[in-house]
Amino acid sequence: MSSGIRRTSSGIEIDAVYGPERRIDQSRIGEPGHYPFTRGPYPSMYRGRPWTMRQYAGFGTAADTNQRFKALLEAGQTGLSVAFDLPTQMGYDSDHPMASGEVGKVGVAIDTIDDLRILFRELPLDQVSTSMTINSTAAILLVGYQLVAQERGIAPALLRGTIQNDLLKEYIARGTYIFPPRPSMRVVTDLFAYCAAELPAWNTISISGYHIREAGSTAAQELAFTLSNGLAYVEAAVASGLDVDDFAPRLSFFWNGHNDFFEEVAKYRAARRIWASLMRDRVGAKSEDSWRMRFHTQTAGSTLTAQQPLNNVVRTTVQALAAVLGGTQSLHTNAFDEALGLPTEESATVALRTQQILASESGVTNTVDPLAGSYFVETLTDDLESATWEIIGQIDAAGGALAAVEQGIQKRQIEQSAYEASLRLESGEDVVVGVNAYMVDEPAPLVGGTVDPQLEKDQVAAVRRHRSARSDRAVTDRLAELVSVAAGTGNVVPPIRAAFGAGATLGEISDALRSVFGTYSE
């Protein structure tokens, strides 16, 4: 980096020195656990208990993933986090032609309730919280989780966890959508209403900036687009007749832990402050619980390098420390070999140990928001907040997040930011150790875990056995009921639960909804 002007990823200019001439507005900092929540959502933060260590896992079969979950819990993980393969995310069964070659590749394959029974076999679902990174088919997977727990005698009120259920960011940055945006918004808000009545301790959405940042956004864009999406979900739910204070306390967010350490700390602090203002002043929520932002953080997969992969342990540690100092409620640390393939059990354990060392050996849990009052951190928090409000204003001017998605506004801005970042990397203005600086000749990398080709054949056989063993009449009737409700104005989640419980597959339920809602293409 040059010795001249230095900027954050969001273009905020960084001074050489910050001092008392930077007036700090104490009312904008506040106290931990109180509006505007700059210093954290809870008064005691990690002095009460450390953040949840929730390592993302899911590959191959349900049985394979079940064994990985057990190993992680044995190693000290305190929450489950499930990755699903692309066919599951896109609403295709494993024997569908569109699933060919993708079964079990980037997550676990789930076709039926039988798969979920195997996935969560012997796991203490009433004692750990479970996060499921799933969007278009979120309602199917969540009701399946509820049914499996119910079979084991676990009351719905004891089930804790988060379903991602964030469709807007799929159109902006990720692409695992099925239906057009407006019917997708209906399914999201139907799940809000269902969980308010059936699963009171469940977080009904994880509004995700992670994938927006992975696609190339700046920190300010990550904040602005994600918070605008969150506002759109809240407004849609209120328009559907829900009381904001009945569902807003169960909303959660999902942020990307990136490399610019101080900008990341400021990002988390600014995010809480902006959300509290939006919920209190724009939406009119009355409960402080509705103003309080809670969030999960995952370290940035896009920063992992195939070159000198052990360097990724350091990158991940820096990103995790920023998330902790920024007040995250749960955290996933990436494995060092993820740029090469699926994490091995060894690399997944090292990633978990990184969190445990931070929590147990670094002293970061001893006091709340230890960076508060720093001239630099508070100024950067203010500057990042201002940059974020400016972009939120652009989204508002376009008619809100949903209208902006339909106009492609967020996608275009992210693509421009990604292009500019690539130019800085190519010119050497931005340094990535091992990629464009400090390179070494090294042997071909050791590729991480891979998926056995036999897995797809076995999964296809399993879903076909399931279909041959079930009552086709019961499935047909339940799917017809789902189509009828989807064509009307009722809540689609109860008939989804009835169909999945009767033996319908994930793909069949998705097809029933496709027949009413249609599909989306850019």
pLDDT 10s digits, 446-492:
555 566 789 999 999 999 999 999 999 999 999 999 999 999 999 99
Q: Check whether 427 has a pLDDT greater than 50.
A: yes
Q: How far apart are the first and last CA of the chain?
A: 38
Q: Residue 56 has what pLDDT?
A: 73
Q: Residue 449 has what pLDDT?
A: 56
Please check whether residue 117 lies inside any domain of the structure.
Answer: yes
Question: In whole angstroms, what is the distance from residue 519 CA to residue 45 CA?
Answer: 43
pLDDT averaged over every residue in the chain: 94
- Taking the model in full, what pTM does it have? 0.91
- pLDDT (tens digit per residue) in 147-177: 999 999 999 999 999 999 999 999 999 899 9
Q: Is the domain of 141 the same as that of 227?
A: yes
Average pLDDT of 222-236? 97
Q: Cβ contacts of residue 88 below 8 Å, gap of 6+?
A: 107, 108, 109, 110, 111, 134, 137, 141, 506
398, 427, 456: which is the final residue of a domain? 427
Please check whether residue 434 lies inside any domain of the structure.
Answer: no
Q: Check whether 396 has a pLDDT greater than 60.
A: yes
Q: Check whether 399 has a pLDDT greater than 70.
A: yes
Q: Is the domain of 58 the same as that of 196?
A: yes
Q: Residue 418 has what pLDDT?
A: 96
Tally the C-alpha atoms within 13 A of residue 81's C-alpha that lie toward its C-beta.
24
Q: Residue 446 has what pLDDT?
A: 57
Q: What percent of the chain has pLDDT over 70?
A: 98
Q: Check whether 360 has a pLDDT greater than 60.
A: yes
**If pLDDT is split at 50, 70 and 90, which confidence band does 278 have?**
very high
Of 282, 161, 174, the C-alpha closest to 226 is 174
**Which range of residues forms the domain containing residue 265?**
6-36+51-427
Please check whether residue 24 lies inside any domain of the structure.
Answer: yes
Q: In 152-300, which ranges are continuous DSSP H helix?
A: 168-169, 181-198, 210-214, 219-239, 244-247, 261-277, 288-291
Average pLDDT of 259-274? 98
- Number of compact structural domains in the chain: 2
Q: Is the domain of 403 the same as that of 471?
A: no
- pLDDT (tens digit per residue) in 305-348: 999 999 999 999 999 999 999 999 999 999 999 898 878 889 98
Q: What percent of the chain has pLDDT over 90?
A: 87
Q: Using the CB atoms, write b or e for 411-439: b if 16+ within 10 Å.
A: bebbeebeeebeeeeeeeebebebeeeee
- pLDDT (tens digit per residue) in 197-208: 999 999 999 999
Q: Is the domain of 496 the same as that of 402?
A: no
Phi and psi at 16, nearest 5°, equal: -70, -35
Q: Is the domain of 386 the same as that of 486?
A: no
Q: In this structure, are strands 129-133 and 161-163 parallel, antiparallel, or unpaired?
A: parallel
Q: Is the domain of 75 the same as that of 143?
A: yes
Tally the C-alpha atoms within 13 A of residue 135's C-alpha that lie toward its C-beta.
21
- pLDDT (tens digit per residue) in 485-507: 999 999 999 999 999 999 999 99
Q: What is the largest CA-CA distance in the chain?
A: 75
Q: Is the domain of 397 the same as that of 480?
A: no
Average pLDDT of 91-105? 96
Question: In whole angstroms, what is the distance from residue 465 CA to residue 111 CA?
Answer: 12
Q: How far is CA 399 from CA 275, 281, 402, in A?
A: 19, 19, 8
Q: Is the domain of 234 the same as that of 326?
A: yes
Of 43, 170, 152, 64, the C-alpha closest to 110 is 64
Q: Is the domain of 405 the same as that of 294?
A: yes
Q: Check whether 264 has a pLDDT greater than 50.
A: yes
Q: Check whether 2 has a pLDDT greater than 70.
A: no
Q: Is the domain of 85 the same as that of 218?
A: yes
CATH code assigned at 275: 3.20.20.240
**If pLDDT is split at 50, 70 and 90, which confidence band does 62 have?**
very high
**If pLDDT is split at 50, 70 and 90, which confidence band does 1 have?**
very low
Please check whether residue 277 lies inside any domain of the structure.
Answer: yes
User: Looking at residue 254, what DSSP letter applies?
Assistant: E
Q: Cβ contacts of residue 193 below 8 Å, gap of 6+?
A: 237, 240, 242, 247, 491, 493
Question: In whole angstroms, what is the distance from residue 90 CA to residue 510 CA?
Answer: 9
Please check whether residue 255 lies inside any domain of the structure.
Answer: yes
Q: Residue 450 has what pLDDT?
A: 60
Please check whether residue 43 lies inside any domain of the structure.
Answer: no
Average pLDDT of 240-268? 96
Q: Residue 166 has what pLDDT?
A: 96
Please check whether residue 452 lies inside any domain of the structure.
Answer: no
